[in-house]
A and B are shown apart, each in its own frame.
Chain A
Amino acid sequence: MKIVTANDLKSGAVIWWTGVGWSIDVDEAADVGEDGARVIAREEGAQNAVSAYVIDAEKDGQGVRPAHIKERIRAFGPTVRLDLTVKPADANAVNWVI
């Protein structure tokens, strides 16, 4: 699947396009198919997001998993400060992030 990620303009937080808006939870990311460029143009134009781009991902029983480690770390947070991650209680994180 293709998903869109960006940073929130005000906070800088990593965000994922859900199909109707933005979420900090990668599991809510929507498959944009070939529509990514249009989503990015509209959302950046509306000043809702910055540095948006399309990435490859897979959806499994656990959630949406970006294909590349860089985006998996973006989705999760710093692997060395679990207290600062998006889901500090995610016991399975080590299995899908790294």
Chain B
Amino acid sequence: MYKYDEYDQQMVDTRVAEFRDQVRRRLAGELTEDQFKPLRLQNGLYLQLHAYMLRVAVPYGTMNSAQMKMLGDIADKYDRGYGHFTTRTNIQYNWIKLEDTPDALADLAKVEMHAIQTSGNCIRNISSDQYAGASADEVVDPRPYAELLRQWSSFHPEFLVLPRKFKIAVIASEIDRAAMRLHDIGINLVKNDAGEVGAEFYVGGGMGRTPFVAKKIKDFVPIDQMVTYAEACVRVYNRYGRRDNKYKARIKILVHELGLEAYSKEVDAEFAHLLTQPIEPPLAELERIQAMFVDPAFETGLSDDLDLSDPDFRLWVERNTFAHKAPGYVIANVSLKPIGGIPGDATSDQIRLMAELAKDYSFDELRVTHAQNIVFPHVKKNDLYTLWQKLEKADLSTPNLDTVGDIIACPGLDYCSLANARSIPVAQKISERFGTAERQAEIGELKLKISGCINACGHHHAGHIGILGVDKKGKENYQLLLGGSEGADTSLAKITGPGFDEDGVVDATEKAIDVYLANKQGDERFLDTYRRIGMAPFKEAIYG
């Protein structure tokens, strides 16, 4: 894992001190809210529906157990005993007091964490593959490259006031587990015929009110030019992105309106210019970072056998684990989606327990996923049953990864001041309706995503089944969408038709699933069947 150097620590500590003074001045009446708002947002502090909300960055979703423990402690010390893991692999606290925020940030800084650039029109937390460094299918570990980009984008003086927020994802495998093509910039690390690592660049993806799948702009940027090329992409966006209309200000609109070819031409010109400037970090810096991401000391000669005689354990293993690159090890997913629970929420005790378990069973490492779950990346198979038993006691062993119960849901109108409708109650009802293991097994992989407004924080555009909450004459109304995907086969979901009330959309979801089950061929997933038979049979069942 990356370890802060003196510069990292000094930057974060200095920012905490600066914000402490800004809060003091605000509370003393020396700053108005108009003056203070951009300052608090730069430190991840929003004013939400019920209270201030603090969003803490988890860079590329990677944490050690001390950091995770601190997140649990902060939930108790400054909040109400829980945190909410988000689709940007961050954590949010919903009840932070303004006067406590500097102390919370100081505690975070002690474990090399912060809330900088988790809000505002800047480059946000960079996301990556939650299985990085553990799965066998990656070309390289993408985290050092994500870390390099984190350092480049942190406090980048030119990119702190972009036309709109800017999100980057870095992956390094054919299987996209980070929704890479739904980012402003997506980077897929690849190797060329000579075996050299380079970056395949995608631009202009995103969800929100105008969703686009990112387009490939470059097949292969040499790795010692990756930062420079990213700089060129963002610089062109910063110059031409629309600042007159916030709804048209994201890079996806620029790429769409300008056209990929014209945008690419501008980027190439800027790239050529930048190559004459010494902005690329030396390769030695990348190598310094890579040295912190070497594999942990995996034991050799371990058995790959697992005793699956406990049926509940067997189900969890089948559903929630993924093959590891090292023999005798496995990647274990902790679903934060108990049946009828609130997606992504974890109590302070659960957070601290996961921290402890990571220390004991996963080389001190955890990951946060964009699907609002937690990963133990390196678990010895010999330890897996013990780990599972400890998770089970804490209600953290729900075996539903990537099934209909593993719902992504934004906080919705229960917490968010931008939302038009509640997301969580819909997720709870669907989770309960399809909660049994038998029902989930029958349905198989089904990614269901719910957003409480058009901003799409719940990724409804990318759901095999997506649900979008809207305001219809002061009442909550829910549109049903089908056919989205976030993986290597990224696609955008389409609206089925008129919306429903809360119970109605749950019923409509069941009807859509019934159509799938009636038409499924072989091992088809819901998405496969939808793509084969199209929207019509689903509409007929739902509205007919």
Contacts and interface: CB of A to CB of B under 8 A. Distances in A.
A1 to B, nearest CB: 17
A86 to B, nearest CB: 9
A50 to B, nearest CB: 5
Nearest to A44: B33
A80 B424 contact: yes
B80 A84 contact: yes
Main DSSP-derived SS at the A contact region: loop
Contact of A51 (B47, B96, B415, B422): B47
A31 to B, nearest CB: 21
Contacts of B342: 80-81
Given A44-B33, A80-B414, A80-B424, A10 B27 contact: yes
Contact of A78 (B50, B96, B99, B428): B50
A7 B29 CA distance: 16
B474 A68 contact: yes
Interface string A57-78: 0000000000111100110011
Contact of A77 (B27, B50, B99, B475): B50
A61 B448 CA distance: 42
B517 interface: no
Contacts of B95: 12, 84
Interface in B402-443: 413-415, 419, 422, 424-425, 428
B97 A10 contact: yes
Nearest to B82: A81
Given A67-B474, A79-B422, A12 B80 contact: no
B49 A74 contact: yes
A43 to B, nearest CB: 12
Given A67-B474, A69-B474, A12 B47 contact: yes
Interface in B335-357: 342
A73 B98 contact: no
A61 B266 CA distance: 65
Contacts of B428: 80
Contacts of B94: 78
Contacts of B80: 84
Nearest to A11: B97
A70 B33 contact: no
Contact of A73 (B26, B49, B96): B49
Nearest to A50: B33
Nearest to A7: B47
A37 interface: no
Interface string B70-108: 000000000010000000000000111111000000000
B425 A69 contact: no
A10 B50 contact: no
B509 to A, nearest CB: 19
Contacts of B26: 9
A9 B23 CA distance: 11
Nearest to B342: A80
Interface in A1-27: 7, 9-14
Interface in A77-97: 77-81, 84
Contacts of A77: 50
A50 B97 CA distance: 13
B97 A69 contact: no
Interface of A: 7, 9-14, 44, 47, 50-51, 67-70, 73-74, 77-81, 84
- Which 3 pairs show the lowest CB-CB distances between chains A and B? A12-B52, A12-B51, A78-B414
11 contacts: A10-B97, A12-B50, A12-B52, A14-B49, A14-B50, A44-B33, A51-B47, A68-B474, A70-B49, A73-B49, A74-B50
Given A11-B97, A78-B414, 4 more contacts: A7-B51, A70-B413, A79-B422, A80-B425
